[in-house]
Structure formats: structure tokens, C-alpha cells
Chain A
Amino acid sequence: ETGVTQSPTHLIKTRGQQVTLRCSSQSGHNTVSWYQQALGQGPQFIFQYYREEENGRGNFPPRFSGLQFPNYSSELNVNALELDDSALYLCASSLGQLNEQFFGPGTRLTVL
């Protein structure tokens, strides 16, 4: 059984650019959630995908969008990057929406 993986590990972008982050779910999991964690803060919920449909969203603007694929892997896309988007982006997978979440190691995004 493989755990949750994320790519890339680190990324540097400039303001205004677009970025795509990727997440592979743990084997057998059909639900993926994405989080943004600023330094010294708790994670903030971006959105959750269940069986390829978005079924919950936090207070993030529409320039944060996502996809879940038939194999339950997922992407997080962020358009028009701002300096405040610099953070650790975490994804977590679970079997269903209200069960234990297992996190990946995260992608560290720096926006210059």
C-alpha cells in the first residue's frame, strides 16, 4: 500500500504566474482534500473532491481551482499568483469525506 505523494517538493514562481500542484491518493482512497499552510499557522482548507466532484470549499478565491481524475489523483491550480500564496500546500486522502485523512509531505511554494 503506497501513501499519499505530492509533486513537486519545492517550487519557485513569480507574481502573476500560474502553478499546478499534483497529488496521488493512498491506494483505495476516493477523496482528496487540499490545504494551504502558512508558516507558523494551522492548515487552511481549500477544497475537497469526492469521486471527481468538488463537495466542499473553504474561503479561497476562484483562482484556486482543482481537479480529481478517475484514478482519484488530483491537481490544485492557482492562477495569478500573489506573494501571499507562498506557503506549504498539503493534500490528504481518505475513504469518504468524514473519515481519517492521510497527508502527503507537501509542496513548498515560494512566490517572488
Chain B
Amino acid sequence: SQQGEEDPQALSIQEGENATMNCSYKTSINNLQWYRQNSGRGLVHLILIRSNEREKHSGRLRVTLDTSKKSSSLLITASRAADTASYFCATESDTGGFKTIFGAGTRLFVKA
């Protein structure tokens, strides 16, 4: 498979708790992006982090990137029922032409 790996595959938490999802990849990258997808619909862009960045924040989202370990994490703080969705990481590189590789996703369920 071309895909990167995400863990856990599924995560169930209570509203108000934090959710952490991890992503590992295999090759050198330019960027890594995180997306959310509700019920097989289009993906919503969350955060882009470039290879020379280590951490980015957006509202309740915090993304880290460790290029030495080829891994990234997405933290959602104070989760809400509306955060229930699948979350994907996607790496991007332009070596030998543009390529992007998505992970298989983490399915997050936030219980009210």
C-alpha cells in the first residue's frame, strides 16, 4: 500500500476530553496536511505544516511534526460531539513530480 499509517484506527471519547491521533510516513516530505471527513463526503482542510515547522495551532487543534521520526500528531482539545468524523493525514512531496499520500484515517467518535 502507498498509504501512510495512522493510529489509532478508531477512537471513542467523552465530550470535553482531548483526542490525539498519530500519523507516520516513510519518505521525505515538503508538507503534511490534516483533514476531516464526515460520512464519506468531501474532505475539510484543517492544518498544513511544512517540513521546517515543528508545531502549529488553529483554535482547538494542535499539530506537531517530527521529521527525524517521520511522524506527526493531531490533538483536538475539549472535544465536542460535532468533532465526530474521520481524520486523515496527507504527506506531500515534489521530488520527481508532485505526490501526496494519505493515511487510512482515524475514526473519532465523541459521545455527548
Contacts and interface: CB of A to CB of B under 8 A. Distances in A.
A59 B98 contact: no
Given A42-B3, A105-B42, A106-B41, A99 B48 contact: yes
Main SS class of interface, B: strand
Interface residues of B toward A: which range? 20 to 34
Contacts of A106: 40-42
Contacts of A104: 42
Interface residues of A, number: 30
B99 A56 contact: yes
Nearest to A90: B42
A50 B48 CA distance: 19
Contact of B98 (A39, A43, A56, A102): A56
A44 B48 contact: no
B83 to A, nearest CB: 18
Contacts of A39: 40
Given A43-B102, A45-B101, A98 B42 contact: no
Contacts of B101: 45
B93 to A, nearest CB: 9
A97 interface: yes
Given A42-B88, A105-B41, A106-B42, A98 B30 contact: yes
Interface of A: 4, 33, 35, 37, 39, 41-45, 48, 50, 55-59, 88, 90, 92, 97-106
Interface of B: 2-3, 30-31, 33, 35, 40-45, 48, 88, 90, 92, 94, 97-105
